[in-house]
Amino acid sequence: MKDCNKNSDCSGRREFLVKTAGLAGGLVLTISGIGSALGRSFADVSINIDSSSPLSKIGGSVVVDSSAGKIIVARTGEAAFIAYSAKCTHKGGIVEYDAAGKQFVCPKHGSKFDAGTGSVKEGPADISLASHTAKGTAASVTITVG
């Protein structure tokens, strides 16, 4: 076994071990930080519907802010609602609801998304809109975010 006090080759090995230990420690902190971010819980969104609300009529929609970003909520029936991320997956424009076409349309570049699934009907977007659970009555709707 070599005596590192008398051998100059050991300084390289020592430096390697110190850097490797530092890198490993940094990696552990990074991974735990990512885990915390991924485990983050989001707050549900509740919307009261009165006669002046766009959601008071079937086919109406609103964009609301949530802890997960902007969400578009559309009324598709007497007590039926749908909710998706309002941010277009192409360049981040805010989509609009087209009740007649049963789709969401991005006014920036024309991407179209199916209102039933959030999937891309027409590009340039190539990733579906994230969906959220929407449960409501004629008077209110709650969006489960996450």
CA R_g for the chain = 25
Q: What is the pLDDT of residue 1?
A: 54
Lowest mean pLDDT among 2-11, 54-63, 93-102: 2-11
* Fold (CATH) for 45-144: Rieske Iron-sulfur Protein (2.102.10)
Contact 62, 76 (CB under 8 A): no
What digits encode the pLDDT tens for the residues 5-39? 555 556 666 676 656 555 554 444 444 344 334 55
Instruction: Please give the share of the chain, as a percent, with pLDDT higher than 70.
Output: 71
As a whole number, mean pLDDT of residues 121-134 equals 94
Q: What is the pLDDT of residue 34?
A: 42
Contact 121, 113 (CB under 8 A): yes
C-alpha closest to that of 15 among 4, 6, 27: 4
